[in-house]
Amino acid sequence: MPYLEFNDATFHYHVKGDGPVALFLHGFPFDASMWAEQMDDLAGLRRCVAIDLRGFGRSERSARPVLTMEDHADDLATFLTKTSVVAGVDLVGLSMGGYVALAFAQRYPDQVRSLALLDTRATADTEEAKAGRDVAEALVVREGRSAFAATLIDALLAEEASPWMKARVRTMIEATPTETIVAALEGMKQRPDRTQVMAHAQIPMAVIVGEHDRWVSVDDAQRMAESTGASFTVVPGAGHMTPIEQPGAVVSALRALWLKT
């Protein structure tokens, strides 16, 4: 399990396989372990790298009161320089990882070979979504991570998800420092609309969404794909956590995307 120090913090990441680099970005409040199945299955095709974003997973705790998508994008750029990746990456991001992927694609367009966006959106938070984040912050501060996880688990996964899948998601949420949860909620509130970043990108792009995702509806994801020229895949039997709930379907969608690079 490698660690690397840069930008005043120590970052943890997983690496598997050889070939062009695919960089996997986890959602909120999760960590890089959510990509384990995809890294196993795609290691013959890519050097699969999954990083714990600043403040998450086994990366160093963060003292920043706000963790913006731009902060994470800049960390990734330094990470790629430090690990001598010069040929660009196939970016794969779920939900908040998708917001980060779009921030990265905007700031470092030459570094992105393809973009896979799972269960995410290119638009900014609505006022309602921002208010929901304030409620979430108050809840996690008042009642702690377990209570926060309890409010999320059933909403994150499809009804058919196994207890083991639910346990995996709970473990990730409970292992995320409370201050990271609050700082990330603040950072997500601040993110701008990046629909135009996608619309202008001249690279292969895929939008992938779980059939039962309660965070990003199939209709919203389809609109996002159609307005930006991305391919569109609905993953049957999955909620918001498609890589954990239906790992094989996500692997197939990524293979199909990468054939276009």
- The binding site for ligand MLT (CB under 6 A) comprises 27-28, 95-96, 188, 215, 240
Nearer CB in complex with ligand MLT: 217/261? 217
Q: How far is the CB of 157 from ligand MLT (least distance, A)?
A: 12
Q: How far is the CB of 90 from ligand MLT (least distance, A)?
A: 20
Nearer CB in complex with ligand MLT: 16/121? 121
Ranges of beta strands (E only) in the chain are: 3-6, 9-16, 21-25, 47-51, 89-94, 112-118, 205-210, 231-235
Burial, 52: exposed, middle or buried (Cβ in 10 Å; 0-12, 13-18, 19+)?
A: buried
Q: How far is the CB of 44 from ligand MLT (least distance, A)?
A: 28
Q: How far is the CB of 29 from ligand MLT (least distance, A)?
A: 8
Nearer CB in complex with ligand MLT: 27/88? 27
Cα three-residue angle 55-59-63, rounded to 5 degrees: 35
Nearer CB in complex with ligand MLT: 194/240? 240
Nearer CB in complex with ligand MLT: 107/214? 214
Burial, 162: exposed, middle or buried (Cβ in 10 Å; 0-12, 13-18, 19+)?
A: exposed
Cβ atoms within 10 Å of 182's Cβ, excluding its own: 19
Strand 205-210 relative to strand 112-118, pairing? parallel
Q: How far is the CB of 156 from ligand MLT (least distance, A)?
A: 7
Strand 9-16 relative to strand 47-51, pairing? antiparallel
